[in-house]
Amino acid sequence: MIALLQRVTQASVKVADETVGAIDAGLMALICAERGDGEKEADALLSKLLAYRVFADDAGRMNRSVADVRGGLLLVPQFTLAADTQSGTRPSFTPAAPPDQARCLFDYFVTAARGRHPQVETGRFGADMQVALINDGPVTFWLQIKPAA
């Protein structure tokens, strides 16, 4: 599974001009399930995401996690993170999990996140979303958990 994390001062997701998820300071994470991913990879990615130290401590070093700072967490499904861009000028999405499997894993990820973090908002799986954010820093990280071979 893949998460593209962005430290934000605020972020929101709209679907058809309706805000479906919004946070103030915290992390906005684009989430993608790849073929072969399961709950084990989702759990590992969530653990890493919640513990990843991207917020400043008193010395100005990135030593605090979203859990430490009690920040918001906005989870947005985005299958395009799995794109194969190695050849040509049109991406292939064969590395992405099939839509039904991806939806189940995203829902599992959100449920698990809500069980472990107090403020979790989401985008809407399969919808045409407009995502707005103010990237703080900018700070952006790519996290990826690969299935065991």
Catalytic residues: 78-80
For β-strands 2-15 and 26-32, DSSP reports them as antiparallel
Q: What is the mean pLDDT of the segment spanning 105-132?
A: 97
Whether pLDDT at 149 is above 70 = no
* Structural domains in the chain, sorted by start: 2-84+93-144 (3.50.80.10)
Backbone φ/ψ region at 95: left (φ over 0), alpha (ψ -120 to 50), beta: alpha
Spatial neighbors of 49 by CB under 8 A, at least 6 apart, are 3, 5, 27, 29, 66, 73, 143
Q: What is the percent of the chain with per-residue pLDDT over 70, rounded to a whole number?
A: 99
Give pLDDT tens digits for 35-94: 999 999 999 999 999 999 999 999 999 999 999 999 999 999 999 998 889 888 998 898
Q: Token pair 């997701």 is at which residue?
A: 13
Q: What is the mean pLDDT of the segment spanning 7-31?
A: 98
Give pLDDT tens digits for 65-77: 999 999 999 999 9
| Average pLDDT for the chain | 96
d(CA 7, CA 64): 12
